[in-house]
Structures are given as structure tokens and as C-alpha cells.
Amino acid sequence: MHTTPDPLSGVQPHPAAASAAPERPVPAGAPLPHRKVIRGWITPLAERRTAIAVALLVLDWAIFAALIAGTILLQAWWAKLLCALAAGFVIGRLFIIGHDACHQSYTPHRGLNRVLGRIAMIPSLTPYSLWEVGHNVVHHGYTNLKGVDFVWAPLTKAEFEALSPGRRALERIYRSGWGPALYYLIEMWWLRMFFPRKTYMGTQRREFIWDGVFVSAVALLWIAGLVWAALATGQAVWLLVVMGFVVPFLFWNAMIGFVVYVHHTHTSVQWHDDKHLWAKAAPFVSTTVHLKFPYQIGALVHHIMEHTAHHVDMSVPLYKLKEAQQKLEDMLPGRIIVQQFSWRWYFETARKCKLYDFTQRCWTDFQGRPTSAQAPSYAV
């Protein structure tokens, strides 16, 4: 069975780890088992299947194509808009597939994963190689370690006050609860995905440039196709471009911005600025949130919200994440952050989680006033 190295140690886990793992829940207050042991509980679920993987990708691409066709063929503006919004949601579903493929957890075949991943990420205009480095290496390797993990990394009060007035205003918008689309569009896609400067990536590769050229060509062809369709059907060019491209792309940015925010922002989630103490805090468990939704919404987003299991073992495919998450929650009762979603909780979190005080180990508002309980200290 394929296993992936531990991002914290780089060590390839031994196949016997799963069989050696205890099969009874860890009592509250007891020391947390080593990550290899915890991974061993869910490693048997990391079986990847090519047939179901390809079928999911084909299904989502077919739905996406049908919805884009709807933005062209339907006459009523509101019907076009509904199709556009739904297309943006399906871009998110496709991206989640690409995300899995990028982790090499989608099918058993590395080469096929790279092909399927690029195909799945086409509608989101995501350069595959840049996402692979930023997400797999940086975010998963150093989740919630300030100065390394850049995804929704909170500022300190001193850092916030040192910003220009314009930048402070932008941070307020980002952290208002209404800013995920703007955050992802600017901070993630534009600055780190679309021909990023070395300042943001730390390195330059030929692959990064060619992937950027590829997604740029996709965007131009997508818009050109909509312009052609508008002229061929006697519709306003601006209307089809807005409905067939702008709205889906903005919805997708709002969706992914929201998802990555709620994955790692919670009053019980701790950030760290010391690598040694961060490693002692079991960040693969303590920095992620399992956000639960009603009406099977979690299944509609390919179970990406079962996020603790994904951080514990990235080799578990999306179609096995629900089982893996349940196993972890059974084995580690009270140790995993599980949150029932509501808009009230979401905006309350946005109100409280503005800045982070690394000395007091708590979230604060923009004035530096604590808004969460002090997190445990992992000092020796």
C-alpha cells in the first residue's frame, strides 16, 4: 500500500505501523499518540480506485459544461445567473478533485493523477505546479506556522498597526466575514498563482511559467468562445461574458476563500511562531476544523470539510474521507475540533478572529483585546 512521508519528519512510515496501532480510544488528558500511530488508524482507508476517480471527474465536467451552455442558451437573465452561480460551485467541486490528484491520493497512478489534476483545475484557472508547491509543501508541511504557512495567516497587533491605511482597510475587509472572495482572488490567485514574483514563491521554475501560460490561454479561449456565442445568437457580448465567465469565476473564488478560512480559523485553533513548539502541538490535529453541514452539503463538496483526516494522511482519497474522519473522532474523543456550521457561528468567528497574540496564545480583535481562551503552552 502506498504511503506518504510525514511532513514533520520526512520519514516514510513503516507498513507495520497500522497493525501496531491501538484500536481503542485515547482517553481525554492522555498523551496524544505519535502521528505514525494516528495515521495507522486510517491508512487502511487510503485505497485509491481509478474507475470511480475518472467517473467523478467526467461527471463534474459534464455538469459544468451543461451549466455554461445554460448561460448561453437560456433566455431569462435570472436563469442565466442561476446557471452561472451553479457553474461556480461546480468549479469548486472540480478543484477539489484536482486538489486530491495533486496530493497523489486520487488514483493509484502518479502520471494519471497529474493529468487528471490539471484537467480538473482548468475551470478554476489554477496553475497545477504552483498549487502543488504552495499547498502540498508549504501549507501541509507547516500548517499554521507563522512565517511559513501563508494561508489566512493572522497578523499581530504590531504588524497590523505597521501597515499603511489602505492595507489596514483591506485586512478589515478580509476578516469581516464578507471578504473570502477578495482575499483568495488577490492574496492567493493573483499574487501566488498567476505568474508570481519570486518574493512570494521563493523560487522560479520553468514549469511555473508554462502552467501560467496554459491557464492564461484557457481564460482567453473561454472568453473568446462566449464572445463568439453572443455574436452567433444575437445576444449582448457583455452579458454572456459576465454570466459565462465572470460570475462563475468570482463565485469559485468566494467558495475556495470561505473553505480555506473555515478549515483553519476557529477560536479553538492555535497559530504558532516557534517551529519547535509548533511541532510539539501536534498541528496535524490541532490546527484543523471539521465543519459539519446539514442536508448532505458536505457530500456535495466531495467531503473536503472532513479536513482533519486529510491533514493526518493526505493519501486518503476524497471518497474515503468521511470514514477516515469518523475513525479519528472515535479514536480521539474531544481532541478534534468539530463545529456545526451556522451563519451565526461564522460571523461570530469573523468578529473574534481578527489578529493573533503569539505571546498570550489567543485570538484578538483589531485593538488587541483577547477574544478567545488562551491556548495550551507546549514549552518544555
Mean pLDDT, rounded, for 218-238: 98
Dihedral over alpha carbons 91, 92, 93, 94 (to 10 degrees): 50
How confident is residue 153, by pLDDT bands cut at 50, 70 and 90? very high
In tens, the pLDDT along 277-304 reads 898 888 888 899 999 999 889 999 999 9
The percentage of residues in the chain with a pLDDT greater than 70, rounded to a whole number, is 93
* 191 SS3 class: helix
How high is the pLDDT of residue 377?
A: 76
Residues 91 and 88: their CA atoms lie apart, in Å, by 5
Domain range annotation of the chain: 16-364
In tens, the pLDDT along 367-377 reads 999 999 998 87
Rounded to the nearest angstrom, the gap between the alpha carbon of residue 125 and the centroid of all alpha carbons in its chain is: 15
Residue type, 336: I
How high is the pLDDT of residue 244?
A: 98
* 306 SS3 class: strand
DSSP annotation of 46 reads: -
In tens, the pLDDT along 242-257 reads 999 999 999 999 999 9
Instruction: Report angle CA 242, 244, 248 to the nearest 5 degrees.
Output: 85
Contact 51, 29 (CB under 8 A): no
Contact 194, 212 (CB under 8 A): yes
Mean pLDDT, rounded, for 52-66: 97
Mean pLDDT, rounded, for 30-40: 87
Q: How far is CA 150 from CA 126, 174, 187, 353, in A?
A: 17, 14, 9, 16
Q: What is the value of pTM for the model shown?
A: 0.90
Least confident of 54-63, 78-87, 165-174, 295-304: 295-304
Q: Is the pLDDT of residue 198 over 90?
A: no
